[in-house]
Amino acid sequence: MSLTHLQRLEAESIHIMREVVSEAEKPVMLYSIGKDSAVMLHLAKKAFYPSPPPFPLLHVDTTWKFKAMYDLREKSAADAGMELLVHQNPEAEEMGVNPFDHGPLHTDMWKTQGLKQALDKYGFDAAFGGARRDEEKSRAKERIFSFRTASHGWDPKSQRPELWNIYNAKKKKGESIRVFPLSNWTELDIWQYIHLENIEIVPLYFSAVRPTFEYEGGLFMADDLERLERVMGKRPEITERSIRFRTLGCFPLTGAVESEAATLPEIIQEMLLTTTSERQGRVIDKDSGDASMEKKKQEGYF
Amino acid sequence: MPENANDPIYQTDALIAEDIDAYLEKHQHKTMLRFITCGSVDDGKSTLIGRLLYDSKMIFEDQLAALESDSKRVGTQGQEIDFALLVDGLAAEREQGITIDVAYRFFATENRKFIVADCPGHEQYTRNMVTGASTADLACILIDARKGVLVQTKRHSFLCHQLGIKNLVLAVNKMDLIDYDQKKYDAIIADYAHFAESIGIESFTAIPISGLAGDNITSPSDNTGWYDGPTLMEHLEAVEVRSDANLAHPFRMPVQWVNRPNLDFRGFSGLISSGSVKPGDTVRSLPSGKTSTVKSVVTMGGDLEEGVAGQSVTITLDDEIDCSRGDVLAAADSPPEVADQFESTIVWMDEDPLVVGRAYWMKLGTQMVSVTVAEPKFEIDVNTMEHLAAKTLHLNQIGVAEITTDKRIVFDPYTENRALGGFILIDKITNHTVGAGMLHFSLRRAQNVHWQAVDITRDDHAAMKNQKPRVLWFTGLSGSGKSTIANEVEKKLAIMNRHTFLLDGDNVRHGLNKDLGFTETDRIENIRRIGEVAKLMTDAGLIVLTAFISPFRADRQLVRDMMGEGEFIEIHVDTPLEVAEQRDVKGLYKKARAGELKNFTGIDSPYEEPESPEIRVNTVAMSPEEAADYIIKQILPLK
């Protein structure tokens, strides 16, 4: 019997999670409610079954996620029997940081700084993240166990070699590890696995007729019209369109695509036939040219 | 569209559009092959990988647009697409135009998913190549057809062979630049075959290709009519995956985690590294050697009829045998060995060289133990395969050495089972992964020296003396007052009817350690022997006092690790260098300053202060008498 590639990927991810739980003092799983998070959470349930995963879920919230995401967040944590921690950066809240007025500062304050605050607050020394190596060029060299200094910095030169499936989780007090159990999965693998294992994902990945508006050349969904109007200073012009999302983030930062794909096979079909890569819909990669993600990682972005 | 979209391997588009369910069914059953590509910048490695990604449609339109503009801006192919730009990741590398780390790429064909470890080829990146090779089922070694077999070709082949890669592909690249000349190609193959045989490579597959022109990558080339072997892609799709090969070996599963949700369930979670396991099988837990019967192979999707190599499972047993993380569950009739001394190949991966005799952490499977490495038997020149004499190993050097672990570990020779034969070495202070190794075999003496069970135990010895054994380890600069204070403490203990012994430079250097000098290696061995003697004395129930500079944290840690919990009391005799130098009781600082004494601690050799000693005495503020009283107060009660 030959294992399929998905069976091998699953076994590898489970192995990684068990190593972390055995060697770290206080692990946590970062949960962004997207499809990769959904797969990661599912794998965690498998890794420790019949025990519940022995760590909490942490959502670093920007307050700008889609409503449907918040709904699934509560349900998924409850289904898994896991504690859900939600952190919102109080400074960002006070300053009213939002994607329209503050541009890159929005991501920095809510996500990058918010994540650092949350890890420090709870004293987590290992955090699972759902990043994949196929997402972006600088990720291709990311280790599965990625070390961060006490100030959460990432130095590409000081990363440890990873041989076989032996991971070195030794660290000094204050240092932490980001662990990426989905490193070797591709976008297609993720979708295929969701399909095979029947994993619940946010309905926004499936097409439906939704209220949309255009902004700076992109197509967005009006998830909370009152709030949009408040920060944009005017009510955007709303058109009903059949849309879906290829990736989910903050609703004013995540571009929608017009689509009729309403089932998983249709989504996969559309993805395979499409000609733009996944991150295209996200504004984050483009703000400082070529090496944008590498720079963000050095600053502590996940 | 790639030019060879009509190639059968890539005729998937039609299926995706017409019958997505059929496509998914097909994709779901793909196998996975991990391979490494080795070659230097000029061999066209990045171009080849870029071509594989491009041909298997792993490049989207936006990436292609970026690639086209980048190619014109910084590419090396004029107005043509420079595939290499697709795979050179980090900003630093793109600027320098070289690959400096291992990058992992993904592509898939109709039958397989591939993970490619893209590794740099320069000698200074041996570490990266070894890392990439450690997980590979196959190695693709690139040769520039114009240059033939070079030193680097030999180096790459040797390293892949050392890491146990059985499937070697010799991709003779840039055939277009030698006009697809069969004679030249044959000469290269003959040359390589001769070399391969000399280092024990049993077989390899040679393929004439051009990464740039696309010859024999995915479809047979008209330019090489004389070649009737597989294309590179056909070969990659056909070779056996290692985890399948592992299935034929006896069952092994290193235990990662004990799964205990409630009192009714106790399971052992791990990744099956070889063989298979079924309910009813008799398994042995190592190192204890106890046997039991498998009750169930548990997964969330339901219990399995059989768990196989490569799967992560949880195993429950019929009876409650003692088994925890680090232990190995194995086929009862062919268990792995258990030993504590080995011969091994070691690849050094850190800027700081190997320190012979120093204790490092060793992680093998899920076992974490303390290990020391002996002086290498030899270093292997990775370019000539010559065996050279060596005192240590530096970054990117590879050698063979004996190693000793502080307790017995479960292992298989690396050639039989990577999972129980491959290990990493971790520096105890910096926590860096400093080396990687492969176990060859256990040394006979480890198998034959058994601990003699004694009737009078160490507890009996201690009880007779009415005390708890301890090691009072005084550390500090030369002239700090270690011996003076230790002497005072011993006098006070004697008055209290305690049985003690003081080890210091005079009674150790003149006898036990008279063969040792003052090099770093000798100083470590000096401390190790003192530690062993102190340990024997605590076994005899004594309170041992030692007074040595012992400047290195790692060495003090080594001794601490030998002792029982709470028995090692580190006492930092804290005297500033200026004060010690001013005292200069033996005139040594003066000599060191004059250059007459080498490796003198504090002058031209570092003193690493204890980070959290049990006791610290400040000799500027306290007299030796006061310091001794303070220490006694700290270690009371002694029973």
Identify the burial level of B254 via C-beta atoms within 10 angstroms of its C-beta, where 0-12 means exposed, 13-18 middle and 19 or more buried: buried
* Residue stretches of chain B with pLDDT short of 70: 1-14, 40-42, 56-100, 121, 123-124, 243, 444-454, 638-639
- Chain A residues 71-90 with CB within 8 Å of chain B: none
Q: State yes or no: cis peptide before A50, omega within 30 of 0.
A: yes
* Cβ-based neighbour number of residue B349 at 10 Å: 24
- Residue A1, pLDDT > 50, answer yes
Strand B307-308 versus strand B276-277 pairing type? antiparallel
DSSP single-letter state for residue A234:
S
* Cβ neighbours of B299 in A, within 8 Å: 46, 49
Angle, to 10 degrees, between the axis of helix A187-197 and the axis of helix A5-23? 90
Interchain CB distance below 8 Å, B256 and A188: no
Phi, psi of A215 (to 5 degrees): -150, 125
- Is the CB of A150 inside 8 Å of chain B's CB atoms? no
pLDDT of residue A299: 54
* Cβ neighbours of A273 in B, within 8 Å: 13, 16-17
* B565 contacts: CB under 8 Å, gap ≥ 6: none
pLDDT of residue B33: 93
Write down the pTM of the prediction: 0.79
| The token pair that represents B86 in the structure block | 């697709």
Per the CB < 8 A criterion, the answer to whether B477 and B602 are in contact is yes
CA angle, B504 then B506 then B512, to 5°: 85
> Within chain A, how many helices (H) and strands (E) appear?
11, 10
Among left, alpha and beta (phi > 0; psi -120 to 50; other), residue A198 is: left
Active-site residue set of B: 550
Distance (Å, whole) CA B165 – CA B445? 31
Strands of the A218-221 sheet, one edge to the other? A218-221, A208-215, A239-244, A257-258
Q: Which residue of B has its CA nearest to A183?
A: B104
Substitution target in A134, A163, A182 with the highest count of B β-carbons within 10 Å is A163
Residue with token string 């209290």: B496
Q: Diameter of chain A by CA atoms?
A: 62
Identify the burial level of B539 via C-beta atoms within 10 angstroms of its C-beta, where 0-12 means exposed, 13-18 middle and 19 or more buried: middle
Radius of gyration, CA atoms only, chain A = 19
CATH homologous superfamily of B337-448: Translation factors (2.40.30.10)
- Interface A:B, Cβ pairs < 8 A: 191
Hey, what's the torsion of the CAs at B327, B331, B337, B340, to 10 degrees? Answer: 0
* Cβ neighbours of A279 in B, within 8 Å: none
- Chain B residues 331-390 with CB within 8 Å of chain A: 349, 361, 363-366
User: Mind telling me how many Å the CA of A156 is from chain B's nearest CA?
Assistant: 9
Instruction: List C-alpha distances in Å: B330 to A14, B270, B282.
Output: 20, 12, 9
* Cβ neighbours of A293 in B, within 8 Å: none
Instruction: List C-alpha distances in Å: B343 to A221, B338, B372, B397, B401.
Output: 64, 14, 12, 17, 6
User: Mind telling me how many Å the CA of A149 is from chain B's nearest CA?
Assistant: 13
Distance (Å, whole) CA B188 – CA B541? 70
* A176 contacts: CB under 8 Å, gap ≥ 6: A119, A124, A125, A126, A127, A147, A148, A152
* Cβ-based neighbour number of residue B517 at 10 Å: 11
Q: State yes or no: cis peptide before B287, omega within 30 of 0.
A: yes
User: Mind telling me how many Å the CA of B170 is from chain A's nearest CA?
Assistant: 23
Interchain CB distance below 8 Å, B256 and A19: yes
Interchain CB distance below 8 Å, A138 and B60: no
User: Mind telling me how many Å the CA of B23 is from chain A's nearest CA?
Assistant: 9
| The token pair that represents B27 in the structure block | 């994709």
Among partner residues B91, B131, B325, which is closest to A162 by beta-carbon distance?
A: B131
Per DSSP, the three-state class of B256 is: coil
* Cβ-based neighbour number of residue B594 at 10 Å: 8
- Is the CB of B431 inside 8 Å of chain A's CB atoms? yes
Residue with token string 């030993």: B339
pLDDT of residue B4: 41
* Cβ neighbours of B241 in A, within 8 Å: 2
* A277 contacts: CB under 8 Å, gap ≥ 6: B60, B62, B63
pLDDT of residue B2: 39
User: Mind telling me how many Å the CA of B249 is from chain A's nearest CA?
Assistant: 14
DSSP string computed for B49-103: HHHHHHHTT---HHHHHHHHHHHHHH-SSTTS--THHHH--SHHHHHHTS--S-E
* A157 contacts: CB under 8 Å, gap ≥ 6: none
* Cβ neighbours of B436 in A, within 8 Å: 161, 163
Per the CB < 8 A criterion, the answer to whether A212 and A238 are in contact is yes
pLDDT of residue A37: 96
- Residue A44, pLDDT > 80, answer yes
Question: Of the CATH numbers 3.40.640.10, 3.90.920.10, 3.40.50.720, 3.40.50.620, which one belongs to the domain with range A5-197+292-298?
Answer: 3.40.50.620
The 3-state secondary structure of B406-454 reads EEEEEECCCCCCHHHHEEEEECCCCCCEEEEEEEEEECHHHHHCCCCCC
Interchain CB distance below 8 Å, B426 and A170: yes
Question: Of the CATH numbers 3.90.1200.10, 3.40.50.1820, 3.40.50.300, 1.10.1370.30, which one belongs to the domain with range B458-635?
Answer: 3.40.50.300
* Cβ neighbours of B135 in A, within 8 Å: 163-165
Per DSSP, the three-state class of B589 is: helix
- Is the CB of A156 inside 8 Å of chain B's CB atoms? yes
| The token pair that represents B564 in the structure block | 């029982």
Distance (Å, whole) CA B56 – CA B2? 8
Interchain CB distance below 8 Å, A273 and B104: no
Please report, in angstroms and rounded to a whole number, the separation of the first and last CA atoms in chain A: 38
Distance (Å, whole) CA B138 – CA B168? 6
Q: Which residue of B has its CA nearest to A3?
A: B31
User: Mind telling me how many Å the CA of A81 is from chain B's nearest CA?
Assistant: 13
* B302 contacts: CB under 8 Å, gap ≥ 6: none
Per the CB < 8 A criterion, the answer to whether B306 and B272 are in contact is no
Reference B322, options B296, B294, B288; nearest CA is: B288
- In chain B, residues under CATH classification 3.40.50.300 are 8-242, 458-635
Distance (Å, whole) CA B475 – CA B485? 11
Among partner residues A1, A15, A273, which is closest to B16 by beta-carbon distance?
A: A273
Interchain CB distance below 8 Å, B104 and A15: no
pLDDT of residue B49: 81
Distance (Å, whole) CA B364 – CA B268? 18
Phi, psi of A59 (to 5 degrees): -110, 115
Strand A176-179 versus strand A218-221 pairing type? unpaired
| Range in A234-238, A251-255, B9-13, B135-139 the model is least confident about | B9-13
Question: Domain B251-331 belongs to what architecture?
Answer: Beta Barrel (2.40)
- Chain A residues 34-53 with CB within 8 Å of chain B: 45-52
Please report, in angstroms and rounded to a whole number, the separation of the first and last CA atoms in chain B: 82
Distance (Å, whole) CA A249 – CA A256? 11
> Which residues lie across from B258 on neighbouring strands?
B268
Long-range residue pairs from B443-449, CB within 8 A, at least 24 positions apart, any chain: B443/B339, B443/B341, B443/B342, B443/B343, B443/B402, B445/B341, B446/B339, B446/B340, B446/B341, B446/B342, B447/B339
User: Mind telling me how many Å the CA of A155 is from chain B's nearest CA?
Assistant: 12
- Chain B residues 34-73 with CB within 8 Å of chain A: 60-63
CATH homologous superfamily of B8-242: P-loop containing nucleotide triphosphate hydrolases (3.40.50.300)
- ipTM comes to 0.89
Distance (Å, whole) CA B176 – CA B44? 13
| The token pair that represents A196 in the structure block | 């095979």
> Which residues lie across from B409 on neighbouring strands?
B339
Per-domain residue ranges of chain A: 5-197+292-298, 203-286
* List of E strands, A123-207: 126-128, 145-148, 176-179
- Chain A residues 240-279 with CB within 8 Å of chain B: 265-266, 268-269, 272-277
pLDDT of residue B454: 64
| The token pair that represents B525 in the structure block | 């061995």
Phi, psi of A158 (to 5 degrees): -100, 15
- In chain B, residues under CATH classification 2.40.30.10 are 251-331, 337-448
* Cβ neighbours of A269 in B, within 8 Å: 16-17, 20, 23
Distance of CA B530 to the CA centre of its chain: 29
pLDDT of residue B174: 93
Distance (Å, whole) CA B453 – CA B457? 9
pLDDT of residue A228: 82
pLDDT of residue B391: 92
